[in-house]
Amino acid sequence: MQTTAISRKITVLGAGAWGTAVALALSARNDVLIWGRDGAAMLAMDAARENTHYLPGVALPPALRVTADFDAAVAHASGADALLIAACPVAGLRPLLRQLKPYPIPNVVWLCKGFEYGTGLLPHQVMQEVMGDTVAGAALSGPSFAQEVARGLPCALTVASSSEALRERVVASVHGGNLRVYSCDDMVGVEVGGAVKNVLAIATGVADGLGLGLNARAALITRGLAEITRLGNALGASSATFMGLTGMGDLILTCTGDLSRNRKVGLGLALGKPLDTIVAELGHVAEGVPCAKAVRELARKLGVDMPITNAVADVLFDGGTPQAMLAQLLARDPRDELA
């Protein structure tokens, strides 16, 4: 697939860590505008030329424009070759799409990873419910820490969409410099991998916090990948997708990286900290927490065996302890590894 050096208009809706990092990276080759709901925070961000709350110490390039004007932000990305990127948590996707619905927009590309709690829907299904077939949609996902992308370190992502034209547009706009973008039409697989890996990162954080060693971590990651694949297959995804960036790649990064918020949740649980305290100390969204409950419910509904996910949800929501979680997993009967 050929890429071009044409500068495109891109609006990033959401000024958290990941939204800011993506806007910063894309502004090197595109006309980028970033929007946030908090007018005072956006004024402060523009004045300081830094997102001091989410990405302290990382300067915004002069070309990156900042606004709290939603109409102006959407208008900026209303052209046929523009991109509108939704950089909100999965819980905020439906409200944001509803806010966008009255506008004549060409596409929506979302960065969020997870299942919508209460409905069990993946982001592309939420998009379908709100927008129907009138607007093309794509998921941009993969192993990526905002702090590293913001600093210009190398990163590889995958764009997934049923629209080949939109996939090509995203690649042309995003691929370049230290960002590599691969293309995929398996939206279910890409989104399932991006969602469930956060739950498994909590499990590996617990194991690391309990001092169980690298052997246990490797076992959790490998068996976690089997859980992701089983659930993805039940939802219609290709097994091959989980061998790629948004499956194995994102799982390894989130389960082992010190920047992983979900791994930090597991480390805190192993220390006996209450969940509310852990989340408050993070100061950021840890998507694996609500996702664990949503995935457990979906797996039960589909009859998919997900013992690690069940154990994590038991610790998070049902009063289980990390030690009991470990005992529960070790007491399972042996089975064929690839069954």
Encode pLDDT of 168-218 as tens digits: 999 999 999 999 999 999 999 999 999 999 999 999 999 999 999 999 999
9-185: which CATH topology? Rossmann fold (3.40.50)
Under CATH, domain 195-330 is a member of which superfamily?
A: N-(1-d-carboxylethyl)-l-norvaline Dehydrogenase; domain 2 (1.10.1040.10)
Rg (CA), the chain: 20
Domain ranges of the chain: 9-185, 195-330
Q: Is the pLDDT of residue 1 over 50?
A: no
Is it true that 9-185 and 195-330 share their CATH fold?
Answer: no
Pairing label, strands 155-160, 136-141 = antiparallel
Side-chain-side CA neighbours of 339 within 13 Å: the count stands at 5
**Percentages (nearest 5) of helix, strand, coil residues in the chain:** 50, 15, 35
Which residues are tagged catalytic? 197
CA distances from 104 to 92, 101, 230 (A): 20, 8, 39
pLDDT of residue 6: 60
- Cα(310)–Cα(307) distance, integer angstroms: 5
Give the sign of the dihedral formed by CA 220, CA 221, CA 225, CA 231.
positive
pLDDT digits (tens, 9 = 90+) for 279-334: 999 987 789 999 999 999 999 999 999 999 999 999 999 999 999 998 888 888 88
pTM of whole model > 0.85?
A: yes
Give the span between the Cα atoms of 175 and 181, in whole angstroms. 5
Summarised one tens digit per residue, pLDDT across range 50-72 is: 999 999 999 999 999 999 999 99
